[in-house]
Chain A
Amino acid sequence: MRVLAAEIENDGRDLAAETIGVEKEWNEVSPLELVRKISACGIVGMGGAGIPAHLKLSPPADKPIDVFIVNCTECEPLVSADFVIVKHHAGEILTGARIIQKILGAKKTLVAADSAARESVAALSAALKDRKFRDLSVVALRPKYPQSAEKILVKTLTKREVPSCGRAADVGCVVHNAATVRAIAQAVLAGTPLYQRVLTTGGPCVASPKNLLVRIGTPARDVLERCGADMKRATKVIMGGPMRGNAQADLDTPVIKTTYGVFAYDTLVPGVKRYDCIGCGRCARACPMRLFPSYLMRFVDKKKTADVREWGVVDCIECGSCAYVCPAKINLVHFMKLGKYRLGGPDAGHAACEGLA
């Protein structure tokens, strides 16, 4: 059966489950046990993709991991949920990093932060003074969207290029974002499952935008109204951020584990007057994967499957940079998604890759 969201009846008591708790210090537990625990607590990647954390923590034997990266850079402009977590819980995140380093057996652990987020960097540096964190090092990066994307971050930090259709593990790296690492630490140290998360609210409809700690399953309406949003005026509600988030048709859509932001707009995309592509090539210059969205758009439109494949639609990370800069205001990301779908069916990204190999 396919369900969009589970309905859970509230007993109204708000108590911790009896199963929560820990028996042993984490460094006495085997990596396999730790991964089992993380899996049982339902930890997933909280930066957007939502890949179950235990999968990334169990790389195949033929792909040894030597670098583990804690991604404290913000995943999108206007979102600051990770900044806040890093600022207030730097120690917890670094402990989580040590746990993961032990699980992966990684030689090196890098903590990547945005240099502009001074308070987060300061918090990390202060926490790092503790001797138990001597194996970790912080790298402050100049903020540049979409730096937070896994492939880009791995390239920036290690100069290694994740192959097309590949994962970071293919080049010996694992990346987890700050929120996920903290959730892992809480799962291992206290047995806490992933039942709440920090998210950013914003958009012209929201009177007082803020970062909130929200239970998973809270409807978008409640989150927004809590921040003084006038929902009568809202014409567009986005789960996620303005660059990659999904526009919602229903205000009762619940916050899920990957919802790092909820935004409400009272206008449609500004400057929506559309033109035909003038071939200026700004999309290609903006593309971090060195694709040519303009050509891909034409090939997808004309159903030229061989060209769509050759020009590498499967490599698109859907960061939205191309459409953001497009002076003709073409929904390029839509065409990329459509191209992937046509290549590989509903399970787009992956099946399309299989077809390539």
Chain B
Amino acid sequence: MNETVPETAQPLLHVSTPPHIRQNESVPTIMLSVIIALVPTLAASAVFFGGRALALTLVCAGTAVGTEALLCLLLRKPQSVADLSAAVSGLLLACTLPPGLPFWMAAVGGVFAIAVVKMAFGGLGHNPVNPALAARAFLMVSFPSAMSAFSAPAHGTLFGLERGLDGVSAATPLVYFKNAMASGNFHPLDLQDAIGSLVLGNVGGCLGATSGLAILAGAVFLLYRGIIRFRTPFAFIGSVFLLSWIFNGTGDIFSTEAFIVPLYQVFGGGIMLGAFFLAADPVSTPMTPFGRLFFGVGCGLITFLIRKFGAYPDGVCWAILLMNFCVPILDRCGRPRRFGERKQRA
């Protein structure tokens, strides 16, 4: 072509596939919403566990964000800190730690979550498991005693101490429950008074997992924003509730006691945090409706089994991590029938 370009040449036009308009929602706005949803939980932890809880949260978030920034620099990748996903991972990791954990251990967790679980697999969207949970699991096997040393909230109920069962090491509701069951000295009605403190979160436990009420407030916001969906969390919580109601240890499923046990199980430990924030994390969970349902039920079942028969008092972390690995198979089995899809050919 030897045409001369006229002086009033049109600027070059951009050509791309449709659609040419996009919704405003983007990855950072989603992550920001998750951070906003965590505010009530973090506030509750500050109230119950004091300023140290906030300091621990800052350490986790800071190391997570710092690790991501540094790795992007070293690997010559585009800087991805601004998508806020590292900050979310850091905050979620903090929520799963005991408030009294030494800062350096929390920092190790933050680095592990981002460097090993997230960036080594290719960054946001490529991690097979939830970075915060994997880091918690890593800390649990690395520092078992520090990770299970729970201090009491400033003015709260310290389970076990009141009951004089097992001293300071039996500080969380679930540890108390497990010991009571093991010793055969189990009276569900003893737990009745504790339910209020449990829902409020004024008990010993992980920094962001104790206050069911605060987590629910955040969850309502996320559900309203359409960022998490009903199916997984409710399948998770529902199956734990159902299983611990049926196998409540009293031999009767219609007595008052029989309903206290599942309530106690659902609000004690990490189920609320796990169900609404960790099992609803989009990257490491299924996409198909059927897959999401089974993901939730699977988490509930494994949590129940670990709590009832396992060595750990709580099994939420392991349950979600195990189910994370089942995602590809769940989605493959759970693909719904397409519009106009014919029945399977023989």
Contacts and interface: CB of A to CB of B under 8 A. Distances in A.
Interface of A: 151, 155, 161-166, 231-232, 234-238, 240, 242-251, 263, 265, 268-271, 273, 275-281, 284, 288-292, 294-295, 311-312, 315, 318, 320, 323-329, 331, 333-334, 337
Most buried by A among B126, B287, B336: B287
A244 B21 CA distance: 10
Contacts of A166: 340
A-B pairs, top 5 by smallest CB distance, nearest first, are A320-B19, A276-B125, A334-B17, A280-B282, A281-B287
Contact of B20 (A231, A251, A263, A315): A263
Interface stretch (B7-15, B140-148, B155-163, B170-178): B7-15
A138 to B, nearest CB: 26
A17 to B, nearest CB: 35
6 contacts: A232-B10, A247-B17, A292-B287, A292-B288, A292-B331, A329-B22
B117 to A, nearest CB: 15
Interface in B87-103: none
B224 to A, nearest CB: 15
A328 B80 CA distance: 13
Contacts of A320: 18-19
Given A311-B335, A312-B341, A328-B125, A242 B20 contact: yes
A251 B13 contact: yes
B338 interface: yes
Contact of B27 (A163, A278, A318, A337): A278
Interface string B13-37: 1111111111111110110000000
Given A163-B342, A245-B20, A315-B338, A279 B287 contact: yes
Contacts of A290: 336-339
B333 interface: no
Given A271-B24, A320-B19, A231 B124 contact: no
Contact of B18 (A155, A244, A248, A273): A244
Contacts of B285: 279
B166 interface: no
Range, interface on chain B: 35 or more
A142 to B, nearest CB: 19
B23 A324 contact: yes
Given A312-B341, A323-B18, 6 more contacts: A234-B11, A243-B21, A278-B282, A280-B282, A290-B336, A325-B25
Interface in B66-85: 83, 85
B17 A324 contact: no
A236 B13 contact: yes
A324 B22 contact: yes
B127 to A, nearest CB: 10
Interface of B: 10-11, 13-27, 29-30, 83, 85, 122-126, 227, 229, 282-285, 287-288, 331, 335-342
Nearest to B27: A275
A249 B30 CA distance: 35
Contacts of B15: 236, 247-249
Contact of B21 (A162, A242, A334): A242
A161 B30 CA distance: 35
Contacts of B11: 232, 234-235
B16 A247 contact: yes
Given A247-B13, A327-B27, A275 B124 contact: yes
Given A290-B336, A329-B26, A279 B125 contact: yes
A357 B93 CA distance: 50
Contacts of B14: 235-236, 247, 268
Contacts of B126: 276
B341 A315 contact: yes
A329 B16 CA distance: 13
A271 B23 CA distance: 9
B13 A249 contact: yes
A277 B125 contact: yes
A346 B302 CA distance: 50
Contacts of A271: 22, 24, 26
Contact of B340 (A163, A238, A269, A329): A163
B339 A327 contact: no
Contacts of B20: 236, 238, 242-243, 245, 247, 263, 265, 269
A276 B123 contact: yes
A235 B21 CA distance: 14
Contacts of A275: 26-27, 83, 124-125
Contacts of A289: 338-340
Given A151-B340, A289-B338, A325-B25, A278 B125 contact: yes
A161 B338 CA distance: 11
Nearest to B228: A280
A46 to B, nearest CB: 18
Given A236-B14, A278-B125, A311-B335, A333 B19 contact: yes
